[in-house]
Amino acid sequence: IIQEIMKLFASILLLTSEVGIMNVAGTIHTEVLGKPMSTLRLAIPAGLFFLQNNCMQLANSYLPAAVFQVTYQGKTFIVAILSVLMLGRRLERFKWLGIAGLALGVSLVQVSKSSDSKTEAVAAQEHTDAYSTMLLGLAYVLTAASCSGFANVYFEKMVKTTENASNGSKAPSLWVRNIQLASFTIMLGIPVLNLSKSFDVNNPWRGFNWSVWGVAINNAWGGLLVAVIVKYGDNILKGFSNAISTVLATIISIPIFGFQTGYPFAVGVILVIWSTMVYGRMIQFKGDWWNTVPFTPQMATGEESSLELNDVEKPKVDKIND
């Protein structure tokens, strides 16, 4: 909740720098309160992100950490598939190879950081049917991955829409969309916070120290950067940047925290680097087969991309990569 409040105020400040201090209140009133149907669209990704977080917590309680980390990387493929279906993005076969390599590489890196032991909840449920427990955990993690993939691609579609299809007016800016998303997330989070047993109404700041505030600020700032990446790049590129940051964070942790790594981590790092180079065409494959699109959704046939049909601006980074 705290980091979403920070994102909300930061987005208002960034919107102020965009439209001016005299116009920011009017812009928020016009774009957020004055267009309820447009604003309500952001309730979809906010609700899905909320469901994703809860499913991830439940999945962690039913699955070993390694199984959870590997399965959750399925979101990489979900994002790619939904980018094709919802945004009409054209992904050649070599890009699919890079995406597959990225998912495998990140899985190996995450597994090397995870404990092979079961979680406490799983250990406490050893008297129950292990097969049913595993299936339930997999259902939760796949639901979380699906919610994450759809919410991210849907939000990308919203922030890249240049005009409203209904009346042809200019669509809200990135910072307005962030204000809408953060507002819905806060509205969903506050009731759940009040129901939490660990939350003390009389002392809501219990446990907050400089470290906690630092994490909240870092996450809020990171969320704004992600929005910029999605606006001017895409969710697939965001996945590659997240993978590289995970690798770098793990490498930095080795001398600082004495983190132990093994062969899975080394192989995962190599795969992440190789996949990034493949997707960015730094490593090229010869022949038409690798450089053709395996399938294009019906909605995008006859056009280079359904992004144009939906008045969605094409990612600038794609022009560099393609």
Could you identify the residue written with the tokens 């990387």?
Answer: 73
- The neighbour count for residue 204, using CB atoms within 10 Å, is 12
The confidence score (pLDDT) of residue 273 equals 95
Taking alpha carbons only, the member of 42, 13, 41 closest to residue 28 is 13
Q: Residue 212's pLDDT is what? A: 82
* Calpha distance 49→152 (Å, rounded): 9
pLDDT for the residue numbered 298? 58
Provide the pLDDT for residue 178: 94
Using DSSP, state whether 258 is helix, strand or coil: coil
Given this model, what pLDDT does residue 303 score? 40
The pair of structure tokens assigned to 174 is 């990135």
What does the pLDDT read at residue 302?
40
In whole angstroms, give the CA distance from residue 74 to residue 93: 18
Whole-number Cα distances in Å, 145 to 1, 48, 70, 127: 22, 10, 11, 28
How far is CA 210 from its chain centroid?
26
d(CA 197, CA 211): 22
Along the chain (322 residues), what's the average pLDDT of each consecutive run of 10 residues?
A: 90 93 92 89 93 89 84 92 92 95 92 59 52 87 95 93 64 90 90 72 75 87 90 92 88 83 89 95 91 73 40 46 44
